[in-house]
């Protein structure tokens, strides 16, 4: 008896391809500009890209008497993330070897054909269920990219408004692809006593690959002010800043679902992307962020609330584009609570608490942050980031600055990364992040996560 799980094997091979993307930022629904990939979800006045974090810190991005600051050529970034595909390959190989190596007791089969067939069927179904469970658990991948618009972020101080405005603009893409498993495989094995032949049909399953992509145009206008500008308040050991940011999201979503078992013998990942591109939905929404920050000469602490109003974005209705067989499988997954035919994504409200300690000359800094609640991005992935970092920020244009950080997602993928970055000539930022977890890929152990970010900004 030889089992040929061709479609599942091809799907597994397709899922093990690398994809480019960018990391989640302090607002974990979006992506990290500048060297935020290293310092994480904290405000740091040494980078203009901190305006995309706590809006209460806008005032701190300008020196005394300075009225304008901007991002030059700004920033672009990418990362690659792998699921635990080596475990999937091991599981698949083990199942194939198990099924190929099964010996059927002919005497037992003749004496009790129904009992023997039932035993073999149960073993085969258990093996397939194991494979599909591993596919769902480990066959999840994220991808995308981000480019910040030139000259942004743009920071403008206003005496009339008693505060500082920020303008951010970027384009990005986020995506996810992974297996969704439904009910257990139903394998049909038949014994023909006349021919003494044991035949089977491949496992009947609703499992499939769900591919989602979101293209995001993001425009944000923020305002930060010192409480003392409005009220005659003198805090004994520091100052209090307040801020708000209005986000305009123009989002086009695409989605397709490919059943692991259907009438096609070929699984072409390119066809899946083309199917998704031809099935899109556009949504425009506003989002609101609020922030508060206390700061003194050598320390600061803050709280930012992201997506206060929890904007929602629609995905296209797959009931209008899938064939009847594939749609039936997706509806079964929907009945099981595993997926939806027509889905929406809500950017979850979440908060980030942060703190930093500076040396007296502010060249050295220790920072940390923690996310309260779970954030959701535009393809429905979940994040709850935490991290710590240390950095040296040079006052000289020729002496490089440097930083080193650790970040971890304590939900979702639960991946952790070591991050490092260097600033050259006071304006060019190069940051790299590498995952601590590894996966076997093409015979070598590689990090499950790798990221790189390059940006240019005006020296503060």
Q: What is the pLDDT of residue 186?
A: 64
Half-sphere exposure of 26 (CA within 13 A, CB side): 32
Percent of the chain with pLDDT over 70: 74
Distance of CA 288 to the CA centre of its chain: 21
Q: What is the pTM of this model?
A: 0.83
DSSP state of 1: -
pLDDT value at 18 more than 50: no
The torsion of the CA quartet 309, 351, 364, 300, rounded to 10 degrees, works out to 90
**What is the C-alpha separation between 64 and 456, in angstroms, rounded?**
23
Q: What is the pLDDT of residue 310?
A: 97
Over residues 223-252, the mean pLDDT reads: 89
Q: Which has the higher per-residue pLDDT, 412 or 201? A: 412
Q: What is the pLDDT of residue 1?
A: 33
pLDDT confidence of 299, banded at 50, 70, 90? very high
Q: What is the pLDDT of residue 410?
A: 92
pLDDT confidence of 234, banded at 50, 70, 90? confident
Within 10 Å of residue 361's Cβ, how many Cβ atoms?
Answer: 9
Q: What is the DSSP string of 341-362?
A: SS-EEE---EEEEEEEEE-TTS
Q: Which has the higher per-residue pLDDT, 406 or 96? A: 406
Within 10 Å of residue 38's Cβ, how many Cβ atoms?
Answer: 30
pLDDT confidence of 49, banded at 50, 70, 90? confident
pLDDT value at 355 more than 70: yes
pLDDT value at 113 more than 70: no
DSSP state of 52: G
Q: Which has the higher per-residue pLDDT, 277 or 195? A: 277
The top-scoring range by mean pLDDT among 225-234, 322-331, 346-355 is: 346-355
pLDDT value at 350 more than 50: yes
pLDDT value at 187 more than 50: yes
Q: What is the pLDDT of residue 21?
A: 34
Q: What is the pLDDT of residue 77?
A: 80
pLDDT confidence of 460, banded at 50, 70, 90? low
Range in 4-18, 201-215, 248-262 the model is least confident about: 4-18
Over residues 237-259, the mean pLDDT reads: 93
10 Å CB burial of residue 196 (0-12, 13-18, 19+) is: exposed
Q: What is the pLDDT of residue 309?
A: 97
pLDDT confidence of 93, banded at 50, 70, 90? low
Average pLDDT over the chain reads: 79
DSSP H helical segments within 54-112, as ranges?
Answer: 85-100, 106-111
How distant, in Å, are the alpha carbons of 44, 239, 339 from that of 213?
A: 31, 43, 16
Contact 22, 144 (CB under 8 A): yes
Q: Which has the higher per-residue pLDDT, 179 or 313? A: 313
Q: What is the pLDDT of residue 292?
A: 97
pLDDT value at 197 more than 90: no
pLDDT confidence of 9, banded at 50, 70, 90? very low
Q: Which has the higher per-residue pLDDT, 269 or 147? A: 147
Q: What is the pLDDT of residue 114?
A: 59
**What is the C-alpha separation between 385 and 412, in angstroms, rounded?**
10
pLDDT value at 290 more than 90: yes
Query: Could you give the 3-state DSSP secondary structure of residue 204?
Result: strand
pLDDT confidence of 3, banded at 50, 70, 90? very low
Looking up tokens 């609640």, which residue turns up?
Answer: 373
pLDDT value at 176 more than 80: yes
**What is the C-alpha separation between 449 and 436, in angstroms, rounded?**
8
Range in 29-43, 127-141, 182-196, 234-248 the model is least confident about: 182-196
Query: Could you give the 3-state DSSP secondary structure of residue 94?
Result: helix
Q: What is the pLDDT of residue 189?
A: 63
Q: What is the pLDDT of residue 301?
A: 95
pLDDT value at 253 more than 90: yes
10 Å CB burial of residue 263 (0-12, 13-18, 19+) is: exposed
Query: Could you give the 3-state DSSP secondary structure of residue 253?
Result: strand
pLDDT value at 396 more than 80: no
pLDDT (tens digit per residue) in 261-276? 765 545 455 565 666 6
pLDDT (tens digit per residue) in 54-75? 999 999 999 887 889 888 877 8
Percent of the chain with pLDDT over 90: 31
**What is the C-alpha separation between 207 and 183, in angstroms, rounded?**
8
pLDDT value at 31 more than 60: yes
Contact 203, 261 (CB under 8 A): yes
């Amino acid at each position: 008896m030889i089992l040929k799980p061709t479609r599942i094997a091809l799907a597994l091979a397709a899922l093990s391809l690398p994809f480019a993307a960018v990391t989640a930022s302090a607002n974990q629904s979006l992506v990290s500009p500048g060297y935020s990939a290293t310092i994480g979800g904290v405000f740091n006045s040494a980078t203009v890209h901190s305006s995309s974090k706590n809006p209460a810190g806008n005032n701190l991005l300008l020196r005394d008497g300075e009225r304008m600051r901007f991002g030059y050529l700004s920033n672009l970034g990418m990362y690659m993330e792998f699921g635990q595909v080596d475990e999937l390959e091991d599981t698949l190989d083990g199942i194939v070897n198990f099924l190929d190596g099964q010996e059927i007791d002919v005497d037992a089969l003749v004496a009790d054909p129904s009992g023997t067939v039932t035993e073999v069927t149960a073993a085969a179904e258990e093996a397939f269920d194991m494979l599909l469970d591993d596919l769902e658990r480990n066959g999840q991948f994220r991808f995308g990219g981000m480019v910040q618009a030139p000259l942004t972020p743009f920071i403008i101080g206003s005496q009339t408004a008693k505060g500082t405005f920020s303008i951010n603009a970027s384009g990005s893409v986020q995506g996810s692809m992974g297996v969704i498993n439904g009910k257990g495989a139903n394998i049909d094995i038949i014994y023909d006593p006349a021919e003494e032949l044991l035949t089977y049909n491949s496992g009947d399953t609703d499992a499939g690959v769900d591919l989602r992509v979101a293209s995001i145009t993001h425009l944000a206008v923020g305002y930060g002010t010192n409480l003392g500008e409005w009220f005659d308040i003198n805090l004994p050991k520091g100052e209090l800043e307040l801020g708000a940011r209005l986000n305009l999201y123009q989002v086009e979503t695409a989605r397709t679902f490919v059943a692991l078992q259907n009438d096609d013998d070929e699984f072409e990942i390119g066809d899946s992307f083309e199917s998704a591109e031809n099935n899109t939905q556009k949504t425009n929404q506003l989002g609101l962020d609020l922030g508060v920050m206390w700061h003194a000469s050598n320390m600061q602490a803050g709280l930012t609330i992201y997506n206060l109003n929890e904007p929602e974005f629609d995905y296209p209705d797959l009931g209008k584009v899938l064939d009847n067989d594939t749609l039936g499988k997706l509806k079964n997954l929907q009945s099981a609570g595993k997926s939806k035919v027509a889905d929406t994504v809500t950017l979850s409200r979440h908060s980030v608490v942060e703190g930093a300690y500076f040396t007296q000359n502010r060249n050295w800094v220790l920072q940390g942050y923690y996310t309260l609640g779970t954030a959701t991005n535009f393809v429905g992935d979940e994040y709850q980031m935490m991290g710590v970092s240390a950095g040296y920020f040079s006052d000289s244009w020729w002496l490089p600055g440097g930083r080193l950080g650790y970040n971890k997602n304590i939900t979702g993928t639960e991946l952790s990364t070591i991050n490092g970055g260097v600033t050259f000539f006071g304006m060019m930022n190069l940051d790299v992040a590498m995952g601590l977890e590894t996966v076997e890929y093409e015979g070598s152990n590689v990090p499950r996560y790798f990221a790189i970010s390059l940006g240019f900004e005006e020296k503060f």
